[in-house]
Every structure is written in structure tokens, then in C-alpha cells.
Amino acid sequence: ILEPCFKYKMLDAGKSLCSLLKMVFVAFPAEASSTPQDVKALYQKVEELIQKHLASVAAPQTAGEDNSASMISFVLYIIQTLAEVQKNVIDAFNLVRILQRLAPPQTAGEDNSSSMISFVLYIIQTLSEVQKSVIDPFNLMRVLQRLARDLASAPGSYARQGQRTDPDSAVSSSRQGADVGMVIANLKSVMKLIGEKVMAVPDVKKSITQILSSLLSEKGTDHTVLLCILDVIKGWIDKNFGTPGMTATSASFLTPKEVVSFLQKLSQVDKQNFSTSSLEEWDRKYLELLYGLCADANKYPLTLRQEVFQKVERQFLLGLRAKDPEMRMKFFSLYHESLQKTLFTRLQYIIQVQDWEALSDVFWLKQGLDLLLAILVENKPITLPPNSAKVAYLLAAGSLPEHSGAQSMVMDASEVAEDTPLTIDSLVTKHAKFMSEMSRLQVGDLVIPLRELAHTDANVAYHLWVLVFPIVWVTLCKDEQVKLAKPIITLLSKDYHKKQQGNRPNVVQALLEGLQLSHPQPRMPSELIKYIGKTYNAWHIALNLLESHNDTKCSESLAELYRLLNEEDMRYGLWKKRSITAETRVGLSLVQHGYWQRAQSLFYQAMVKATQGTYNNTVPKAEMCLWEEQWLHCASQLSQWDVLTDFGKLVDNYEILLDSLWKQPDWAYLKENVIPKAQVEETPKLRIIQAYFSLHEKNANGVGDAENIVGKGVDLALEQWWQLPEMSIHARIPLLQQFQQLVEVQESARVILDIANGSKLSGNPSVGVHGGLYADLKDILETWRLRTPNDWDNLSVWYDLLQWRNEMYNSVIDAFKDLANTNSQLHHLGYRDKAWNVNKLAHIVRKQGLHDVCVTILEKMYGHSTMEVQEAFVK
């Protein structure tokens, strides 16, 4: 029976045979003297067969020899079964040879599948429990290297297979998935075999460390493998340092430096693919290990504990951000005990000593708040501040404890039926009892729950910090405040705060508001305040800080914030207050009232005087820059696009060229000389102009490009919208106008596509085709007539919108110019709407008092000899 099972790999029969043999081995131990001779002969025959076939599996394969994976699997299955009852069923020599065969790269015609590795590893694992020498470190390391390579390549191939939908690929995908599972199982088995003996070999230790580091750093490594690595490393550390009397210097194979290195890599593991349960298990195991290494003085030496705390916990702050409150408090106690119990020490640690980059994606001031509130005297009673409103006692002093009847009445009040009326005495007594209980509360009863609540709600932490920081700051002596001034500026300048740029609230807002409410305020650079205000949605906090200082740099930063918030009156008022020349004050007043031509002339005269030396170099550079800026602003309001283009070419200002060339229009110069060279800030306005240029080509590719550009423009506009203060109307007006332009770019793309589709069907003489096209276009063009800016909006807003519509009307006219005889309505569609567009723009310009601009628009913008009678009359 035995020989055929081995020869023909009859696995089912072999399993039954193994069960029988196992029963025989248990009933008749080989070493027992009472075992019958026939049974001993059976044992001998079984051992001969096993050794024979195992030697054949371990030997290099020769031509015509059958040692395939199925045969190996069968042999190893029998060994696996019998090894449970007789450990010496296999000798280590052949086992090591099998491992050597599995370890090298696979050669042609050789089958060393994952299932074969699994059987060998199982036997090694079983025998290593009674004989450590069965493990060969070098072979084990080679197997680990191969399995790590297989795991790295398996997910990618599996994903590619999964993308295909044919039946063959589905079968291949399932097989691939099974192989991945086998590789993971084998990898975990090998890691469990890596022990003290293996790590004692320097070369093997170095290679295994590199393999584990690679597995920990790769994204997408299976979570069970990562958990297994964590367990293995924990086992090594416990074996190294957990033995009584073991020190860092006498450790057998892991040094403190290597322990710290492993912990740092474990701290940076990518946990995105972890399930909720796996993530909880990982956090629990890792944080328990980390806390033990930081706090357990009985197991770990002081040098190791200090190094782990400084280089792992303080660097990654995983303990302070733990979700489990108990675990978080354990780690917090380590920080609390390592710092002195003074406000200056705590505040200096928060602002200067600790690097918070590891917590930069969360509101980390709640951890800093914890450090400050932890040194409060918690057993003192809570008292009202002197400025609190107070009323007289409802009952006589001391009456509540003495009147037991009243007290019992209060206790019974809740048990009375709801419809039973309460007396005034019972209500007053009940309230007095409540007040009496509250008066016995201590500081800890209020602060400890508040601290925990701050960890769950960033708004609570924000308000607590803004409340506590000014109190802490004012208690510091002047020297301590001076010591913290520069570190505060350094902290506010950190780049890692950008991770919270979109959060509400964020750490920078809280820090800046705390400083703004402090007295005396530490001096900060005005440029930094301006940057923080516009970047982290701390506009009004920054405005208050800048308004409280009266110097030139603060005024410039303040004016810039006013400009970004579209608060032009505030900005002009600030400049009038600090300007040197009368021209500046008069010119800004003219701008405020819409007298663009007079203001432009005044600013031009001021610039001429400055170049001629009339002001004797008394005018600051910022004021002269204001003249130039306002002159350009007046030119755009007066539609002087040729002047702006010449200026842009003269000074290589691509932002001005982008804005003015398409309105002239000069698309050729824009295409050849501006767009390839322009390096300007990414803004919604830039995206709109890029979309205009793409649509100007009037082809399908241009339409697709324009739609992509519009999508990016919308994203930028929404991002800017989110960065503006919540209660701000004027600041959002320019964005609303840009949103309208983005919408009309999308509608323009539809118009071009409709025209292109209609031209494909132009061979069909049916009017119905043109009629359908006409109806679709009419909806868009009619919507444009109804969707116009407000009459009081600046001319630049009207011009941006209606100038682009004028381009689209030209496209409609060109598309239907040959339909005068077949479809007159469609033929006149572009002419009629273009005439209305030009007249509407001229009407608004005249209303705003710009008569010369009105005449110029009427003369040049239409550009056709024919016009409907009604529109001609309006003109």
C-alpha cells in the first residue's frame, strides 16, 4: 500500500494512510519494548520510504527524474502528519537540502512552488521546537528574500489580471489570488522562524533587517504581514531585554540603536489599507510595546527608555494622538513628568522645544493645552471671577442643611405625578440644593472633562487656547516673554502648517488670535501676519493686529489685505491717511467716485513729476507704485486695451498682456509670444483666458481642452472661496463674476459643438435640421441676454463678459452666413444678438459717464454693415 501512494501521488489515499499510521504510532511507540516486531518492521519501512523520497526531492533534478511539486507535497504531507507523534521521522540534513533547493532562483524545468515551500516550512517549524539546529540561517534568509520578492510582484500582476473580464482571466485571477495568499502565509511562517540563532549571524541579520525594512516601507503591504512583523520584533525585544539581569550591552543580537530603528519604521507604516479591526489591533499592540519601552523600568534599561522616548515617541507623537483615552493619558503622563511644573517651561516646550510636524494634520494645540491645564491645582474650589454678576441667596444662609423636611420634599418631588402642581417653596429649595452641590465642585471636576472634550472637538480646544494663552502670557515676566518672542515667529513660519490650510479651525488661527488678545503683544513681522491672514483664513485677526500698529510696513501689509478682501474704500482711506502728495489723495477720491479719465490724468502727471524730480525724492516707492497701479486700473476701466498692450510689451508684464490681447483681439500674438512664455500665478482668471484661447480654435480638441481648463478653474475658484472669511460679501463678488465667466465658457463650448454637428449635416436640405440647431442655440443666446451684470458694476466686469460673447456671435455669423436664402432666421441670429450685445455694452458705458468709450464701442465693436432696424435705432 505504501509504495503506490508515494509513486502515484494519490493524495486522498495518502491522507487516509497517514491517519492510520498516526494511530499506530500513538498506540505503539517506537521506543517501547512492548511494541511487536511486525509494527517495528512497518516503522522501518515507512522511514526508509520517507528518507528515499525526501532525498530524491532535495537532490538537484536530472533528466527523466520525477520530483515534481505534487510529489514533494505528498512526501511533506506525510512527514507533517507523522512529525506530530515522532520528531525524528526526518533528519535535518535532507531538510536543509530541500531548503537550499527552494532558496535559489528557479531554474528552467524546476518546480519550487509556494505549496512546496509551505510543507518544508511547516516541518522546519515543527522540528525546530525540539532541535534548534534544524534551522539554517542563510537558507532561511534566502527563502525570506524570495518570498518578499514574490509578494512585491504579486499584487501588481493580480490587479492587472483583475482588470480583464474574459473567463480565462477570471480563472487566472482566482489562481493568482490563491498564490498571493500562499506567499503571505509562507512569509509569516518564515518570520516566525527567525529567532536568536538566525539573528546572531551578522550577514544574515543585516539582510533580514533590510528585507523587513522594505516590507514596512512599501505601500500596500498586506496588513497581516505587517502585524506579523510587529509581533516578531516585539518577541525579539522581549527576548533581548525582557530577561532579568539583561542589559543593553549584554543583549545577544539587538542593540538599542537597532530597536529604535525598527520602532521608527513601524511608526511610519502605511495603514491606508487596514480594516478597522486591524487598525485597532495594530494601534493597541504597537502603542503597548512603545509605552512599555518608554516606561517599564523593571524590564528595560534607562538609556533605552530615554532613547525610545526622545527618538520615537517625541518624533512621531503616536501616543499623544492615540484614540484610546486611557492609552493617550499614559503617554501624556510621560510628557507631564518630564517637564517642570511652571507655566514658562510648559509654554516654552509647546512653542520652541517640541516639533509638532507629526501632528500637523490635526489640531495639535489640544495636546499643548493639556500640558498647561495639567499643572492647575485641581483640589481647589471653583469660584466666580470678581466681575461676574451676583444675586442674593434665595434661602437664608445655612438653612438648606438644617431643614431636613425641605430636603426630603425636594427628593420626593420627582416622584410626584406630573400633573401635581409644585409649590414655590419646593422649587426654590430644589434650586438651592442644586446650587449648593455646584458650590462644592473643585477645579478638577471642571477642567478634566473640558480637557477630554477638547480632544474630541477642535472648536472647544480652539476657544480654550484663545482663553488660556493670554492669561498664561500675562503671568510671565518680561524676560520670559522676550525669550519666547522669536520662537513664536519661528513656529508661525513653519511650512508644515499648510497641511491644515483648509481646516476650520486650524492651529495658526488659534495661535494668532491668542497673540492678538495678549498684552503686551509680541512684535511680529507685518509680512508674516499678512501671509498668515490670507493663507489660513485668519483675515480679521491679522487686520486687528496690523491696525494696532502705526508704521509703514504694517500699513502696506494692511492695504494688501484690504485689496484681497475687495475692501477698496478701506484701502483708499488708509492710503489717503499715509500719502505724501496731494495728487494721491485727489486721484483716489476720483477713482472712488468713478471719474476714471480725470484720475488717470492726475496719476500720469504725478508720475511725470516724480521722474522730473519735482518731489525731491520725498515720495516713498510704495506710493509711486500705487500711481502706476491706479493708472493701469483706470486704463482697464476705460477699455484702453491698446495702451495696456503696449505697456505690457514694454515691461514684459505677461499678466497684463494675457488680459488685454484677447480683448483687442490679437490671438496670433497671444499664441506666439505670450502663452509659451507666460509664467504667472495660477488663478481662475488665468484659466478663463486659457479656455478662451482653446475655444478660439473652434475645433473638437479645443472644446475638450477648454472643458478641462474650466474644471481646473472651478477648483481654483472654490479653493479661493473657502479661504475667504465667512461673513464677507464684498470679498466674494469678484469670484461670483468669475463663476459666471466659467459657466459661459462651458456654454460657449456647447455652441461650438452644436455648430460643428450642424455643419456635418449641412448636406441635408431639410429645414428641420437647421430648425433643431436653431432652437438649441436660441436657448443659450436667450439666456445670455437675461444674464447680465448689475448696471452699477465696473465697466471691466461688463467688458470681460460681453467681449467674449461678441467673439461667439462672430462664430455664429460665420457658421450661418450662407443660409440667407434657406433659413433667414438662422442667418440673422448672430447679427441680431451681436447688435444687441454691442448696444447693451455702449448703453452701460454711457450710463457710467464714459461718453468717449461709448462712441468707440459703437463704431468699432460691431463691424458689419447690416443691422436690424430696432437695434440700429437703439444705436
| DSSP per-residue codes, 370-402 | HHHHTTS-TTSBP---TTS-----SS-TTHHHH
Residue pair 703/752 in contact (Cβ under 8 Å)? The answer is: yes
The predicted pLDDT at position 410 comes to 41
Q: Please, are residues 583 and 602 in contact by the beta-carbon 8 Å criterion?
A: yes
3-state secondary structure of 486: helix
Contact present, 513 and 466 (Cβ < 8 Å): yes
The CA-atom distances, in angstroms, between 867 and each of 163, 289, 846 are 60, 85, 21
Distance of CA 654 to the CA centre of its chain: 33
- Whole-number pLDDT of residue 99: 44
Closest alpha carbon to 150 in 119, 171, 181: 181
Backbone angles phi, psi at 579, to 5 degrees: -70, 155
pLDDT value of position 177: 47
* d(C-alpha 299, C-alpha 117), whole Å: 37
pLDDT at 851: 94
Contact of 600 with 584, CB cutoff 8 Å: no
What is the per-residue pLDDT for 431? 86
Averages of pLDDT over each 10 residues, the chain, 875 residues: 62 66 75 82 74 55 49 58 57 47 44 51 51 55 71 52 42 50 73 68 82 86 89 87 56 80 94 91 96 93 94 95 95 96 97 96 96 93 80 59 41 47 83 86 93 95 97 96 97 96 96 96 95 97 94 93 96 95 96 95 96 90 96 96 95 94 92 88 93 84 91 96 92 96 95 80 51 72 94 93 94 84 81 94 94 93 86 88
